[in-house]
Amino acid sequence: MATRLDTAINDPLAISLLIGTNDLGGGKRKPEHIAASIQALARDIRKRAPEAIFLINSVMPRSRKYSRDVRALNVRLREIADMEGAVFVDLWPALADADGALRKEFTADALHLNGAGYAAWVEVLRKELSVLSLSNAPGPQE
């Protein structure tokens, strides 16, 4: 993703970053290493778009097997969002089941969202963006 920033960021009003789940696959990279890469990317994004609303989405739940690592990475993503002036968007409550897996009604393969899953994600984003747009709206003219 870092190699695409030159063409991906062109004076945006908002940036929504969802990254990390593919890095967890296969267990080759540990959450702390993934978080370090994401923090470097977040710093670069913030430098390129200092005025943009910046949302860092949590890693979405996957199968129960990945639950512990996803949760550990999400703790770090929340910290990164705070450090880089971004808003952390916690998708876990909307998408996870009681076992820490992606809710069955939101996926066919325990990884990729289906239409209902995307709709649930959009609702979380909509709430975050509506709060942010209200807080950044100009006040009444004096």
Integer Cα distance of 130 and 55 in angstroms: 13
Percent of the chain beyond pLDDT 90? 69
pTM of the prediction? 0.86
Q: What angle do CA 16, 17, 23 make, to 5 degrees?
A: 160
Give the CATH superfamily of 2-133. SGNH hydrolase (3.40.50.1110)
Q: Distance (Å, rounded) from C-alpha 61 to C-alpha 39?
A: 20
pLDDT for 52 beyond 70: yes
For residue range 6-46, list pLDDT tens digits in order: 778 888 888 999 998 888 887 678 999 999 999 999 999 99
